[in-house]
Amino acid sequence: MIKIAPSILSADFAALGDEIAKVEPVADLLHVDVMDGHFVPNLTIGPVVVEAMRRRTQLPLDVHLMIQHPDRHIAAFAKAGATSLTVHAEVCPHLHRTLQQIRELGVKAGVALNPSTSLHAVEQVLDEVDLVLVLSVNPGFSGQSFIPFVLKKVEEMRRWLKDASSHPELEVDGGIKLDNCRDIARAGASILVAGSAIFGTPDPRAAVMEMREQLQ
């Protein structure tokens, strides 16, 4: 069954515990967007917030690192209680080593690709990852529109993953709404991240349930 990961980037940060409680009974995991103002233009949160979330919920914390030097921070995020740590292929010259280091910390290892990055950037490491994250917006902000050509990338990555020994999840992130979630699932996604489509609505729990209905 396809998993839904609400992205807290669209939540009310002044009431984060309450926002988590709203989706906790219906979400499969919580997506946490970490931004450094270098790799992406925005700044968000660090390990202290992940640690506070870990104390608040049992849900897996799916931490998406949109940062220039992930190697410097993976240990801190692992200690804070991240369930998975996803690094961008674009900023990892030694991607294989970085992914191994994440796994050595006892955390699931993910690799992410911007919309304009070729799937070939991760071709050699597919047996070493628990998750491939295909960005369907240029990362940095929630509330952007899904970039249509990414659908073909998702289809192709799904074909590639059939042979990957570690059977990674295929996560798609950005611009996912009620009206396109089925197409993205059909293309082969196993996890859908949604920010504004969930926390941008008056009833985030109902929004998750509605998305799940669409996916049936």
Residues that bind ligand DX5 (CB under 6 A): 7, 9-10, 31, 33, 64, 137, 139-144, 173-176, 193-197
Least distance between ligand DX5 and beta carbon 162 (Å): 26
**Strand ranges inside the chain, DSSP E:** 3-6, 30-35, 61-66, 84-88, 108-113, 131-135, 169-173, 191-194
Of 28, 62, 130, 173, the active-site residue reads 173
Of 130 and 173, CB closest to Zn ion: 173
Please say which residue, 113 or 197, places its beta carbon nearer to ligand DX5.
Answer: 197
Q: Which is nearer to ligand DX5, 144 or 166 (CB)?
A: 144
Cβ-closest position to ligand DX5 = 195
125 binds, options Zn ion, ligand DX5, none, Cβ within 5 to 8 A by partner type: none
Partner whose binding site includes residue 10, from ligand DX5, Zn ion, none (CB under 5 to 8 Å by kind):
ligand DX5
* Smallest gap from residue 165 Cβ to ligand DX5 (A): 27
Sheet with 131-135, side-by-side order of all strands: 3-6, 191-194, 169-173, 131-135, 108-113, 84-88, 61-66, 30-35
Catalytic residue among 28, 33, 36, 62: 33
Task: Tell me which residues touch Zn ion (CB under 5 A).
Answer: 33, 64, 173
SS (H, E, C) 57-94: CCCCEEEEEECCCHHHCHHHHHHHCCCEEEEEHHHCCC
The partner residues of 135 in beta bridges, in order of sequence, read 173
- Kindly state the smallest distance separating residue 33's Cβ from ligand DX5, in Å: 5
The verdict on whether 62 is a catalytic residue reads no
Q: Which residues contact 118 (CB under 8 A, 6 or more apart)?
A: none
Quote the DSSP letter at residue 144: P
Active-site residue flag, 33: yes
| Closest separation in Å from C-beta 178 to ligand DX5 | 12
Q: How far apart are CA 139 and CA 5, in angstroms?
A: 16
| Residues 6 or more apart in contact with residue 124 via CB below 8 angstroms | 96
Q: 208 contacts which partner out of Zn ion, ligand DX5, none, CB within 5 to 8 A by kind?
A: none
Annotated catalytic residues are 33, 173
